Amino acid sequence: MAPPRPYWKGYLKLSLVSCPIALYTATSSGERVAFRQINKKTGNRLRQQLIDEETGEPIDPDDKGRGYEVDKGVYLRVEDEDIDAIAIESSHTIDIDSFVPKSEIDERYVDSPYYLIPENKVALEAFAVIRDAMRDKSMVALGRVVLSKRERVIMLQPRGKGVLGTTLRYPYEVRDEEIYFGDIGEVKIPNDMLALAEHILETKAAKFDASNFHDRYEEAIVAMLNEKKAGMPVSKQRELPRIVAGTDLMAALRQSIERAKEAQPKPTVASKSAPPAQPVAAAKPAAASKGKKAANRNLDQREMLLPIAGGAPVKAAAEKQPAKPGATKKAG
């Protein structure tokens, strides 16, 4: 499938080697549940208006402009053409300035990811040269690019057949950790308590797999919307974690270990003596009925599945209906 419209188009440059590229956003928030502002009395959607601060009158969207406050209530008008005329090199070219070990980049500076691809077949060879040179050095490249009328530092690293670009924050955008961590007191943890906590960590060790993560809050929102749409009461209770300290903390650590042991599957006698199971081929999806096309479904898209109130009477009514000739009752 063709990618969406590029977020930015320009050139990728390493010394005297350059090639035209297209930059695409690597993430999307369009699949999230979105709410609209409505009038609680009428249920109608609300629209925001631009109001002149002095006159209190709404203005036409065509009269909206941009201004920089040079004095109290005094603004210097700036047109879009004034900003577009600022033609620094990073407005149209990502020029690689340096290469650094990725381990030296503080995670707090990492911002938004983008995909970089060659603009056309002519650009492929030069793009591949820059990409593979970075891969062989096991380092990331740092360059600059103007995005949304701001020059950003961008970190580039090979990813598959393309390049992953990640914008970095400036130092003034990252808050000093000492402001928040400075007042945290020193605590001497007993060795036995620390050993229990480390054991819990070891039992939960795993490999990172993004497919294991589900937005449980989003799922709860969808469930709540389904309940409201079906006219069912929505539970407003929420369970809060119990705060523990001192001897209660030690007991909570021991209980955590016992719970982890109970959750582990226990081997049975049959499983010890039985030969290893042969891998079973994945079941094929059921064929669609003749003359009907299977509906295309986006697996990433959530469905609003509404519970049907009063299911028992419906079932009872269905049992009273006479069976159709030739019909057989399915098991289960």
SS3 for 240-262 is CCCCCCCHHHHHHHHHHHHHHHH
Phi, psi of 142 (to 5 degrees): -120, 130
Using one digit for the tens of pLDDT, what is the confidence trace for 73-104? 899 999 888 887 777 788 889 999 999 998 89
* Residues 167, 114 contacting (CB under 8 angstroms): yes
Please name each of the domains of the chain with its CATH number: 8-31+85-173 (2.40.290.10), 187-202+249-259 (no CATH)
How much is the pLDDT for 313? 43
**Residue 256 pLDDT grade (very low, low, confident, very high; cuts 50, 70, 90):** confident
Q: Name the residue among 204, 187, 203, 205 with its Cα closest to residue 249.
A: 187
How much is the pLDDT for 1? 56
Using one digit for the tens of pLDDT, what is the confidence trace for 30-42? 778 888 999 999 9
| CA distance readout (Å), 53 to 50, 69, 234 | 9, 14, 42
Prediction pTM value: 0.62
* Residues 141, 126 contacting (CB under 8 angstroms): no
DSSP state of 286: P
Phi, psi of 270 (to 5 degrees): -65, -40
Angle made by CA atoms 139, 141, 142, in degrees to the nearest 5: 140
Instruction: Name residue, tokens 């820059």.
Output: 130
Enter the tokens of residue 311.
Answer: 């299911």
* Residue 191: how many other CB atoms lie within 10 Å: 8
For the chain, report the end-to-end CA distance as a whole number of angstroms.
Answer: 41
Tell me, what amino acid is at 130? I
DSSP state of 42: T
Counting Cβ atoms within 10 Å, is residue 127 exposed (0-12), middle (13-18) or buried (19+)?
buried
* Residues 90, 150 contacting (CB under 8 angstroms): no
Please give the Cα distance from 80 to 118 (Å, whole number).
Answer: 29
Mean pLDDT of 12-18: 88
Which has more confidence, 330 or 127?
127
Please give the Cα distance from 128 to 286 (Å, whole number).
Answer: 43
pLDDT higher than 70, residue 329: no
Phi, psi of 16 (to 5 degrees): -95, 0
DSSP state of 328: -
Enter the tokens of residue 77.
Answer: 């008008």
Angle between helices 247-263 and 191-203 (to 10 degrees): 30
Which has more confidence, 163 or 278?
163
